[in-house]
Amino acid sequence: MLLSIGLLGLFGYLAAKLTEKMKLPGLVGLLVIGSLLGPYFFNVLQPDLLSISQDLRTCVLILLLLQAGLGLKKENLKKIGFLAIKMSSIPCIFEGIFILGAAYYLLDFNIAEAGMLGFIIAAVSPAILVPSMLELIKERLGEDKQIPALLLAGASIDDVFAITLFSVFLGLGTTERVNIVYELGQIPISIIVSILAGAILACVLIWLFKITDFFNQHTDQLVVLLASALLFYVIGEGIGIAGLLGILAVGFVLRKYEPEISDAFSNKLAQIWVFAQIILFTLVGAEVDVAVALQAGLVGLMIIMLGLIGRSLGVWIATARTALNNKERLFCIIAYLPKATVQAAIGSLPLAAGVSGGSKILAIAILSIVVTAPLGAIGIKVFARRLLV
């Protein structure tokens, strides 16, 4: 395993620097090198690393969401308010429905299979969007209308909608009895409980840091925070709440009540992120089987593009009659394009469950990563300075 980590670290770093020299986002190089070293190309990564790839990627994503939460401020979130809720639901639902309809007619899927595909693809990738938004926050782009914060909040909840709706269609397609009203009703409950639980955890940590001398150094406190966040995520996923959203809430509450500690945490997490991002994006790249993606063919590509049209329409509708001008609304469309983490994590579930269209669903899910991850990352980098002020 150590050999594989060393290879990913070294070649991933070099690939990121090379792509940055080409004026492209470094993560594009990381995705490519991960795919090349992974099991579907040169197959030099050891199986023991690949077996825990999902857990490692989740750990890094937790770190990333904590860092994002620590960068959010109450006064900034007030500016985006209800718009964040619209951005978290309308684009996802539009994209899922567009893909559902396209798959039903173009692939001869039944409604359940088409819905599974629709809401696997509909999830935006926090792994790609969040670090890009953190960079914009550092550069103070879109600061006046809090566009990076809007997209951070929206993307965190977007996945809750997508995964819940995917679970509904998976249940319908595997003859499980599914109470659709109940499942849909769980979405707002999951969001509210996740935020409250994250806030409670943050308050407990603040209290703990104040009453004990064991954690009087910022490094000690950060270790406790990271360990608590991991446990929070595991427990949250076990009881059916949105763990990643709750972790974002942890960071937000810490920022509100302990800004000095939050600044120290943010600086340390930024240092960890230098290496952690290499592991995250190379392991995402290692999940991409280009041969399987190519099986989706032009029809699969057409379905993905129709889905992106639906998502873009959803963003345009969600941002209508708001303070955002047309350039800023266009940037929101671009930032909401990339797919990666959710598609890699659940794209194979229909096939594993014995769904007849499972292999096609997996192929299109992988193709969506190949097409949209670099497209979205490059789009954010190229257009941020042109569309935001």
Q: To the nearest whole number, what is the mean pLDDT of the chain?
A: 89
Q: What is the pLDDT of residue 389?
A: 73
Structure tokens at 92: 């996802």
Q: 251 or 1: whose pLDDT is higher? A: 251
Query: What are the pLDDT digits (tens) for 121-139?
Result: 999 988 889 889 989 988 8
Cα separation of 223 and 165, whole Å?
Answer: 35
Angle formed at CA 368 by CA 249 and CA 120, multiple of 5 degrees: 55
The residue behind tokens 């109450």 is 74
CATH 1.20.1530.20 for the 54-387 domain, yes or no:
yes
Q: What is the pLDDT of residue 227?
A: 94
Q: What is the pLDDT of residue 297?
A: 86
Query: What are the pLDDT digits (tens) for 366-388?
Result: 999 999 999 999 999 999 999 99
Q: Lowest-confidence range among 70-74, 152-156, 182-186, 310-314?
A: 182-186
Is the pLDDT at 280 greater than 80? The verdict is: yes
Across the range 315-332, mean pLDDT stands at 94
Query: What are the pLDDT digits (tens) for 231-274?
Result: 999 998 787 777 788 898 999 999 999 998 999 999 999 899 88
Q: What is the pLDDT of residue 185?
A: 75
Among 219, 223, 241, 245, CA closest to 62: 245
Question: Whole-model pTM above 0.95?
Answer: no
Domain ranges of the chain: 54-387
Q: What is the pLDDT of residue 68?
A: 87
Are 212 and 221 in contact by the 8 Å Cβ rule? The answer is no
Please report, rounded to a whole number, the percentage of residues in the chain having pLDDT higher than 70.
97
Cα separation of 128 and 287, whole Å?
Answer: 15
Q: How far is CA 43 from CA 3, 225, 286, 330, 357, in A?
A: 13, 36, 9, 40, 28
Q: What is the pLDDT of residue 180?
A: 67
